Amino acid sequence: MTKGIRFLILDCPTDSTLPFYLAELKRHRVTDVVRCCEPTYSTESLLAEHILVHDWPFRDGAVPPASIIKNWLQLVDTRIVRRLHNHHHQQQQRSGSPTISEEEDDSLIPPTIAVHCVAGLGRAPILVAIALIELGMANLDAVEFIRRRRRGCFNSNQITYIDGYKRNKILKHPLGSGSEPDSSSNGSSSRSGGVVAGVKNGLSRVFRLKV
């Protein structure tokens, strides 16, 4: 059963704080980090842990250009497709074998994409909102969904943009009505229009972010 995809919204690490962030990224099984701001840290330690880093910066307080939206949605789609493929492959290999629990099946664990800007209140959340809309969530529901978990995010210009955002239908495999809430996200999952996606506030306890 497909359980969706998770997003981890962060503020910006530095070289000195990156080890703490890296521990959290690994704990949340992050596959990719998207940087929406200028680089402030080396990516070597992330790459060593097989975490890919994507540099897609755009102006603070602004909305993302079409090229970044396209790259972002292609990344989300790739992670969903990869997980569905892995699950199907493992199911084929286990055909005729004893049934294993969901906890033992790695292919059932939703992938996590971490996104950060400087404060984690504008550029990073707007990319997550766009993904949620493309996955089937209503526009303003996406704003409310993220704001409940990360207070203070989005300026008026960004909310206006999200409200008027039209789905591009870039995602080839949007999450369907068979999805179920991710029970591991501590209440941060939501069903809306058949979509389930966990949005987590990265490192809020460790670094006391405003969430």
Q: What is the pLDDT of residues 144-179, one digit of tens each?
A: 999 998 889 999 999 999 999 998 877 765 554 333
User: How many distinct structural domains can be found in the chain?
Assistant: 1
Query: Which domain, by its residues, includes 108?
Result: 5-94+101-207
Q: How far separated are the first and last CA of the chain, in Å rounded?
A: 31
What are the catalytic residues?
60, 117
Residue 140: predicted pLDDT: 94
The yes-or-no verdict on residue 19 having pLDDT over 70 is yes
Residues near 50 by beta carbon (within 8 Å), at least 6 away in sequence? none
145: domain CATH number? 3.90.190.10
Cα separation, 110 vs 39, in Å, equals 27
CA 166 to CA 154: how far, in whole Å?
18
DSSP string, 59-87: -TTS---HHHHHHHHHHHHHHHHHHHHHH
Q: pTM (2 decimals)?
A: 0.77
pLDDT of residue 79: 86
**CA–CA distance from 163 to each of 75, 97, 110, 130 (Å)?**
23, 48, 27, 10
Residue 131: per-residue pLDDT: 93
137 or 195, which is more confident?
137
